[in-house]
Amino acid sequence: MVAGNWKMNKSPTEAKLFAGLLASKIGKETVMDIVVFPPAIDIPFVVDVLKDTNIGVGVQNVHPKEKGAFTGETSLLMVKDLSVEYVLVGHSERRHIFGESDEFINEKVKAVLSAGLRPVLCVGETLEEREKGLTKNVLERQIRLGLFGLEKEDVVNTVIAYEPVWAIGTGVVATPEQAEEAMAFIRSLLGELYGMETAENVRILYGGSIKPENFDALIRLKNVDGGLVGGASLKESFIELVEIAK
């Protein structure tokens, strides 16, 4: 799976143009799932441009409640109406800039699954946590609490993205050894919690400063099932990343 998180970039006009480029270059891809996560306001336009392609569309954030007095928020009922398939949950920018807790993230994961969509649960340690030797503790806490109360069938519909916070948007990518160590740990934790068969069926993505120059070494790792890409998903480099993943 190769997923592109556009974050707060691209107006509807720019999004339509870029989605058109993706449709023409990688729209017929069948060997992997390709998903883009545009800003919510762009989604109707992007869905329309990508409707006859194999490129899926996800949303970067939702509120777990169905509707009501939550000014500025987007509900799952709204995004479902637009054929959105995936929802990013627990992205480090939501955790660290907007103060989302593991408990709130768990509420969102459950709401996404109950709505019949697939959450992409993002987890990852800060530089300070890594330097203190706390990486595995942080990953374990974020996964245990993020997936709390889920059945095995729900877990296989959840994608996990390992995104070390120090690698997001910094240009500093995890080494293949660092990525594999963390992702093997995530796989074995999932095995402990839900059984190895379930764990093998969960897709685990690496995210953090992926570029065409570093993706090949990461995508080959045993426990890496794809990439979640920020900056490099805004340009033609996203097309190159899909070619590399092939």
Where do contacts with ligand PEP occur on this chain (CB under 6 A)?
Answer: 5, 163, 168-169, 207-210, 228-232
Rounded to whole angstroms, the Cα distance separating 5 from 25 reads: 18
Q: Which CB atom, from 38 or from 207, has the smaller least distance to ligand PEP?
A: 207
* Cβ proximity to ligand PEP, 79 vs 168, nearer residue: 168
5 marked among binding-site residues: yes
Give catalytic status of residue 96 as yes or no. no
DSSP string, 116-169: T-EEEEEE---HHHHHTT-HHHHHHHHHHHHTTT--HHHHHT-EEEE--GGGTT
Question: In Å, how far are 94, 133, 239 from 67, measured between CA atoms?
Answer: 20, 41, 37
Asked if 91 is an active-site residue, the reply is: yes
Please identify which of the residues 93, 107, 163, 180 carries the catalytic annotation.
Answer: 163
C-beta of 63 vs 91, nearer to ligand PEP: 91
The answer on whether 226 is annotated among ligand-binding residues is no
Q: What is d(CA 124, CA 201) in angstroms, rounded to the nearest whole number?
A: 21
- 166 known member of a binding site: no
Return the SS3 of 73: coil
For residue 233, say whether it is annotated as part of any ligand binding site.
no
User: Active-site residues: which are they?
Assistant: 91, 163
Annotated binding site: 5-7, 169, 209, 230-231
Annotated binding site for substrate: 5-7, 169, 209, 230-231
